[in-house]
Structure 1
């Protein structure tokens, strides 16, 4: 199977026991595949009505600034409206996290305080899941 299809790029699993949607990105994507992968993520989130997402991006090495802007201005606000709120924990490698944080447009967790969606980055999966359900 072609690894450049959205289904191979992003493996999704809904954990009903935790009401958690886990997305594991399998490799660094061609940016042209991202819209279809995010449509699949939206479809799965809508089907399960899940607003808690763990996105494992440890196998990725760069972050596309145009995609990040689109996520923050369009995708996440839309998903938050559709789901009644949204919390996304990104599980990253140290190298990718440094790259993301070095971007001049990087938003800290405090930026999201008054937003209907919240995003945070982690190097530890347990800490990421704990944050998702922290109130």
Structure 2
């Protein structure tokens, strides 16, 4: 990711060896910061052509419901269509944030997304998140 205003907020790295786009969030952003950050994420996703994303949000303390709704109804579906296959996003969250997200009204299990252009899953362990992404890669490779 280029050195810009979002670099300390979101460090993006495409891991070609894993075919995973890793985003590590440095802190809880103000809602006003999110459009520019998600634009960087969109650009990096398109440049790499990677459909398998690990988003490390362990340093974030809450999810804005309006942003979450936008991600689920606009951003992720559009990215899946632009990338030509299902976008798979594994969120690595702190125990408290993960519990809050999973108890929220917009939470769905990964199976809910089977026929959607994207799928989202939440994890407390990075190894489990990467294993899930690898399983998704295998499924997509098999068609």
What is the TM-score normalised by the length of structure 2? 0.88
Match of 1:36 in 2: 36
Question: Is 1:10–1:37's contact at 8 Å kept on the other side of the alignment?
Answer: yes
Distance 1:93 1:79 in 2: 25
Tell me, which stretches of 5 or more residues in structure 1 are unaligned? none
Aligned residues: 131
Per-residue Cα deviation, 1:17-69 (whole angstroms, up to 9, x for no partner): 11110000000000111111010001011111011000000000101000000
Match of 1:70 in 2: 70
1:21 to 2:45 alignment: no
Distance 1:86 1:34 in 2: 20
* 3-state SS of 1:87 partner: strand
What is the TM-score normalised by the length of structure 1? 0.94
Question: Is 1:6–1:34's contact at 8 Å kept on the other side of the alignment?
Answer: no
Distance 2:106 2:47 in 1: 32
* 3-state SS of 1:106 partner: coil
1:44-123 superposed matches below 5 A: 44-84=44-84, 85-123=86-124
> Structure 1 segments of 4 or more deviating over 2 A?
none
Shift of residue 7, structure 1, vs aligned partner:
2.0
